Structure 1
Amino acid sequence: MSQPTSNSSPLLRQLGGALWGQNIALVQLLALCPALAVTTSATNGLGMGLATTLVLMLTNALISALRHTISQAVRTPVIIGIIAGVVTLLDMAINAWMHELYKVLGLFIALITTNCAVYGRAEAFCLKNPVLPSVIDGLGIGLGFTWVLVLIGGIRELLGSGTLFAQASLLLGDGFRWLETTLIADFQGILLAILPPGAFIVLGFLLAAKRLLDRRQAARRLSSSGELVVLQ
C-alpha cells in the first residue's frame, strides 16, 4: 500500500500515515486485545472498528478544543474522564439502537476507555494541535484500526465457516445486508481459525506481510534513485 506523495496536502499525508505507516495494530502494536478477541468474524471487526473510530474522532476534537484550558497538573485524569464519558454515551447508544451488535461486542465497547491508542493520541497529538488536524488524526487512526480488524475477522471467518460478513444486517442494520456472502457452501470449517490461537496466527502473518511490503517498497524507492540496495 503506497502512502501519499510529498506533493499531497499535510492532512492527506497525515491520514495516509495513520492508515499504514503508523497503524496502531500493525506498527505500534496497540489495542491488540479487541483486535484478537472480537474478530471471530468480519462483521464483529467492522462494528468494533467503527465504534473505536467514532470515539477517537470525538475525543480528539474535545481534547484539542480544551487543550489551552486543561491544567498540566490534572491532564491525565481529565483526558481519561473525557474518553470515559464519550465511550459511555457510545455504549448506551449501541445498546439502544444496535442491541445485537452490543451483545456480541459487550464488554469490549466499555474497554475502549482503556485503549492505549485513544489515550496515546490525545496525549501525543491532540494537546499540541488544532481541532481539524486532531479529528483527521482520529479518523485515520480509527480507519487504520478498522481495516486490520476487518481483515483479521474476514480471514478467520472464511477459514472457520466459509462466509464473509455473516449476519451483517442483523448486527449493523439492513443497510449492510449486501455484505453478507457465502463463499464456500456447506463448508465444515477449520475450528482453530475461530479459536483464540487462530487470531494470533492470522495477526502474525499480517505483521510479516506488512514488513515484507514495506521492505519491497523501500527497495523500489532506492532503486529508482540509483542507489545500491542491500536488504538484511
Structure 2
Amino acid sequence: MTSIADLRKSYERHELSEDASHANPLKQFDQWLHEAINSEVPEPNAMTVATVGSDLRPSTRVVLIKGYDERGIVWYTNYESRKGRELAGNPFAALQFHWVELERVVRIEGRVERVSEAESDAYFHSRPLDSRIGAWASPQSQVITGRGVLVTNAARYAAQFMLQPPRPPHWGGFRLIPERWEFWQGRPSRLHDRLRYTPDTQGGWLRERLAP
C-alpha cells in the first residue's frame, strides 16, 4: 500500500514568466480560464470560496463562477446560507481556482458586495426551471430531517409557481472586488512560478514574483 506521504508529481507542463504574463491580472485570469475551458478540464468554472464567521473560524465551499469583468468575480447563492451570513458580518473573502490538469492555481482576495437586484433577476430567470424551483425548496445550510423535506418543498413550490417562479428574496449574487491576485504555475523540482498582483499608486497593478 502506497503511503500518502510518498505521493508526488513532477510539474512540467507550462511556465509563468513576468515577460509572458499580462500586466493586468484580469486579462491573465481570462486567458487561463479560457485555456482551462478549451482544454476540457473537469469543472473549469468551479472555485473554492473561503469566508470567516463571527467566531473567527474560516470555512470553505465550492461554487461556480457566473461572471467576471473589471468590477469583479460573480457567483450566486442563498443569502441565508452559512457563507451568506458570514459575508453579511465580514464582507471579505478569498477565491481559489485549481486546474489540476494544467498544473495551475489562481487565488483572488478582496471585498464582497451583493450584485444589483436587476443582475440577480436576470441570472435567476436564465436558469433551468428545476434550478429555480430548487432555490425555493432548499433552506440552504439549515438542518433538515431528511431528503423528503426537499422533495416535498420542491413539489409544493412547483405547484404554486408553475412555470414562472420569481426570484426568492433570499437568493442572489455576490461580487468579489479583487484586491490581490496570485497566479501559480507548477514547475519541476518544486521551484514553482508564483506571480502576485496588488494595486499600485497609479491605479494599475504591481506585479511581483513570490518564492514558492
Q: Check whether TM > 0.5.
A: no
Return the structure number with greater helix share: 1
> Which one has more relative contact order, counting CA pairs under 8 Å at least 6 apart?
1
When normalised by structure 1's length, the TM-score is 0.25
When normalised by structure 2's length, the TM-score is 0.27
Return the structure number with greater strand share: 2
